[in-house]
Amino acid sequence: MALVKANNLKIAYNSQYIIKDSNFSIEEGDFVFLTGISGSGKTSLIKSFYGEVRPEGELYIGPFNMAKIKRGSLAKLRKRLGIVFQDYKLIPEWNILRNVMLPLFIMGYDKNESEKKAMELLKKVKLSHKLDKFPAELSGGEQQRAAIARAIIHKPAMILADEPISGLDEYSASLVMDLFIMANKMGITVLIASHSLPQEFNVQYKHLHIEKGRVYELS
């Protein structure tokens, strides 16, 4: 079943269409790489998935058309997404444990249950020894792992990751990619925006590529 469906999708940036007349779909449980050169519109496309940028045409994420989505529905949709940013976007004044618990707070989970889930997950991302540290006290790779833990703790329908491994060393990058694979195995659809495809990747994936403003589905 299609989780994402785009028909004649257009996205404008500074009054110019950087994405135009694009049609593509993403099925539930897919692992998707979105590639394209810098400035091709990868970030804008990802932002349109979580309503930070309003597209034209049709872009369905589940039942929501992002071109017409209302504020209330947007909050509902965002609760079902897990977003991973290139700059991590962890809350600086909160410790790692609390940062990871954020989606559960929003969904109204009980504090003890949230804490238990967050601690389990932090163990899986190898950060159980840094629960009470603040983001600024962690390396880039560690912050990204915490950000991924935050993105998957509430078992979202889809994870959107914008350049999640750029700037990370090889070891941290492979740990981060393993976490995405783990999330995908949990049934979560994963969309990763990146300059290029990874050299070695042993999981079946779908490839979307942006070129000259159009999104192509490559086999």
Contact region for another protein (CB under 8 A) — 76-84, 113-121, 128-136, 195-203?
76-84
State the nearest-atom distance from the C-beta of 82 to another protein, in Å: 9
Contact 197, 208 (CB under 8 A): no
Asked if 110 is part of the footprint of another protein (rule: CB under 8 A), the reply reads no
Contact predicate 21/70, CB 8 Å:
no
Q: Which H/E stretch holds residue 13? A: strand 2-13
State the Cα–Cα distance between residues 208 and 210, nearest whole angstrom: 7
Is the distance from CB of 49 to CB of 6 less than 8 angstroms? no
Nearer to another protein, 20 or 152 (CB): 152
The number of beta carbons lying within 10 Å of the beta carbon of residue 105 is 12
User: In angstroms, what is the minimal distance from the CB of 154 to another protein?
Assistant: 9
Judged by CB under 8 A, which stretch of 19-27, 56-64, 99-107, 137-145 contacts another protein? 99-107
**Look-up of token digits 């491994």:** 165
Give the interface segment with another protein, choosing from 21-29, 83-91, 163-171, 201-209 (CB under 8 A).
Answer: 83-91
Task: For another protein, give the closer residue by CB, 145 or 206.
Answer: 145
Please identify, among the stretches 18-26, 82-90, 134-142, 196-204, the one whose residues bind another protein according to the rule CB under 8 A: 82-90
Q: Is 160 exposed, middle or buried (0-12, 13-18, 19+ CB in 10 A)?
A: buried
Q: Does 52 bind another protein (CB under 8 A)?
A: yes
> Is 154 in contact with 119 (CB distance < 8 Å)?
no
Contacts with another protein: how many residues (CB under 8 A)? 20
CB of 74 to another protein, least distance (A): 8
Q: Which has the closest alpha carbon to 161: 32, 52, 59?
A: 32
Binding of another protein by 74 (CB under 8 A): yes
Task: By CB under 8 A, name the binding residues for another protein.
Answer: 50, 52, 74-79, 81, 83, 89-94, 102-103, 105-106
